[in-house]
Amino acid sequence: MLLKVEELEKELKQGNLQCLYLLYGEEIFLLETCLKKIRKQFGVLQKGINDIRIEAENIERLISDLQTPAFGFEKKLIIARNTGLFRKEGKKKTVGSNTKMAEKITQYIKENVDSLKQSVVLIFIEEEAEKNELYQVIEKNGIVCNFEYLKPMQIIARLKAISNAYQVQIEERLLQYLIECVGSNMQDLMNELRKLIEYAGSGGVIQKEDIDALCIKKMDSVIFELTDNLGKRNIQKALQVLHNLLYAKEPIQKITITLYNHFKKLYFTKLAEKTKEPLVSVLNLKPNQTFLVTKYKQQASYFSEEKLRKILAEMIDLDENSKNGNIDMQIGLEAILCEYCS
């Protein structure tokens, strides 16, 4: 059967294990969390006996491992990672051998599914998965789950539940702010939230000042902050943000590239507003990045279309002049920011 992430988590919480799993997608943190829950239900795992690992390089071993009993254990756990068995034909590095192996494994599972249910839990973990015959066999006899990126409100709900579990209060608007600062990667968010929970303590309340003081902000978040200051004509604070990045050992080239790409997105935002095109598709935002639409629109409103074009042109010229030794990149970048954003 095809399950959503929340449904799979509920199944595992109730202790229900299936014989076959296909877990795939981009939200690696939640996928690995579910995998840990499956492993935990096995109790003692002995590598090579009831704990088997399969990769693309040794996928031909899979059927042999399925046939071998888990001596001394009721069942064995086989985890096959990134085998390529579920990719489109055009994406396979070794199309012929992968196709034949997928067909062979599919046929074996179809013929032996009843006995496998008594002795094996087989988990395929893939980055992507096409609905080929192997996919359909697993869907019919086990569980398929696509770990897509969570939407902002789903992320906030999960973070809120975790903070509540530790009896620490945090407002939803601050969880939104945390996402804006740290990004939408669940592993990064969990690391920062744990830090904030430890700081606040049981019965405590997490404040905005705590996030600013304790959390490691992503480069993109800092660039948003810098641009906000530019848009509000606060050049002193904008340059302070720039200098803080340099103090944190961020290369000036990386800062310049990130800033250039940011202004390019603001320019595209301006164009999208004129043509009425959806900004999510224009900026190629993922589902967990849709909250950025409002921020891009707000920051684009600070600048005219002409000014954004000039900023981008000046930054391209800066790149060439710095390579020729005509100007220091940091000085040139500061000059651009002061000239067009004062």
CATH of the domain at 210: 1.10.8
pLDDT-derived band at 281, boundaries 50, 70, 90: confident
Domain boundary (114, 147, 180) is at 147
Instruction: Specify whether 16 is located in the same domain as 140.
Output: yes
Which CATH number do you get for residue 304?
1.20.272.10
pTM: 0.75
Instruction: Specify whether 277 is located in the same domain as 188.
Output: no
* Nearest-10 Cα torsion for 197, 194, 222, 331: 110
Across 128-132, 207-211, 272-276, 322-326, the highest mean pLDDT is recorded for 207-211
Instruction: Specify whether 84 is located in the same domain as 187.
Output: no
Instruction: Specify whether 141 is located in the same domain as 160.
Output: no
In angstroms, the CA 170 to CA 181 distance is 15
Which H/E stretch holds residue 103? helix 95-119
Instruction: Specify whether 13 is located in the same domain as 45.
Output: yes
Instruction: Specify whether 239 is located in the same domain as 318.
Output: yes
8-19 average pLDDT score:
92
Domain boundary (147, 177, 200) is at 147
pLDDT of 97 reads 59
Parent domain of 161: 152-214
Q: How many domains in the chain?
A: 3
Instruction: Specify whether 6 is located in the same domain as 107.
Output: yes
Instruction: Specify whether 159 is located in the same domain as 179.
Output: yes
In angstroms, the CA 16 to CA 255 distance is 49
Q: Identify which of 145, 133, 119 has the alpha carbon closest to the alpha carbon of residue 21.
A: 145
Question: 255 CB contacts (<8 Å, ≥6 apart)?
Answer: 219, 242, 245, 246, 333
Instruction: Specify whether 246 is located in the same domain as 170.
Output: no
Instruction: Specify whether 233 is located in the same domain as 320.
Output: yes
Amino acid (one-letter) located at 127: E
Instruction: Specify whether 158 is located in the same domain as 227.
Output: no
Q: What is the pLDDT of residues 264-277, one digit of tens each?
A: 999 999 999 888 88
- Higher pLDDT, residue 216 or 32: 32
Give the three-class secondary structure for 120: strand
Domain boundary (147, 178, 198) is at 147
Terminal-residue alpha carbon distance, the chain:
59
pLDDT-derived band at 35, boundaries 50, 70, 90: very high
Instruction: Specify whether 192 is located in the same domain as 320.
Output: no
